[in-house]
């Protein structure tokens, strides 16, 4: 199947497929006489794996490690679990950061009168920095 068909089948854009090829996550596709890329069922399976890992928030480097582990039938599942646990730690750090940002913005919004006056604590905070409210 050509790149357009592979994109449609995988739910990825052709641009992302080319990008994954350029980063080494996907082997460069074979090319037909017309110069078009041709993807196999195995390529589509790998693309599905990459897409699912990315949907779970794994960084490209982590996806590469997961692909290596996936292909290594002698791997220990503990290696996969360690990588996934580290990812959960990073997700929890980001969640904490996002909750803090949401709470700070909510507090600023609560102090904003939202009327015709020019005084705005939201803009004042942006101007003066995070510790100056």
Residue 39 tokens read as 């993807």
Residue 48 near residue 67 (C-beta atoms within 8 A): no
Find the largest Cα–Cα distance for the chain.
69
Name the band, by pLDDT with cuts 50, 70 and 90, for residue 47. Answer: very high
pLDDT tens digits, 74-102: 999 999 999 999 999 999 999 999 999 99
User: What rounded mean pLDDT belongs to the chain?
Assistant: 93
pLDDT of residue 130: 65
> How far, in Å, CA of 51 to CA of 119, rounded?
47
Is residue 132 predicted with pLDDT exceeding 70?
A: no
Domain boundaries, the chain: 1-57, 76-133
pTM of the model: 0.80
Residue 31 C-alpha from the chain's centroid: 29
> How far, in Å, CA of 91 to CA of 65, rounded?
18
pLDDT of residue 86: 97
Question: By C-alpha distance, which of 61, 18, 76, 69 is closest to 43?
Answer: 18
Phi, psi of 124 (to 5 degrees): -60, -45
CATH (residue range 1-57): 1.10.1660.10
């Amino acid at each position: 199947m050509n790149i357009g068909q592979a994109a449609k089948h995988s739910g990825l854009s052709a641009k992302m497929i080319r990008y994954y090829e350029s980063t080494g996550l996907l082997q460069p596709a074979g090319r037909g006489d017309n110069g078009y890329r041709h993807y196999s069922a195995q390529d589509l399976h790998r693309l599905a794996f990459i897409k699912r890992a990315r949907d779970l928030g794994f960084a490209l480097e982590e996806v590469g490690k997961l692909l290596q582990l996936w292909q290594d039938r002698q791997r220990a599942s503990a290696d996969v679990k360690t990588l996934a646990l580290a990812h959960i730690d990073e997700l929890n750090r980001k969640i904490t950061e996002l909750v803090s940002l949401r709470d700070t913005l909510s507090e600023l919004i609560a102090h904003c009168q939202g009327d015709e006056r020019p005084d705005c604590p939201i803009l004042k905070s942006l101007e003066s920095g995070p510790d100056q409210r």
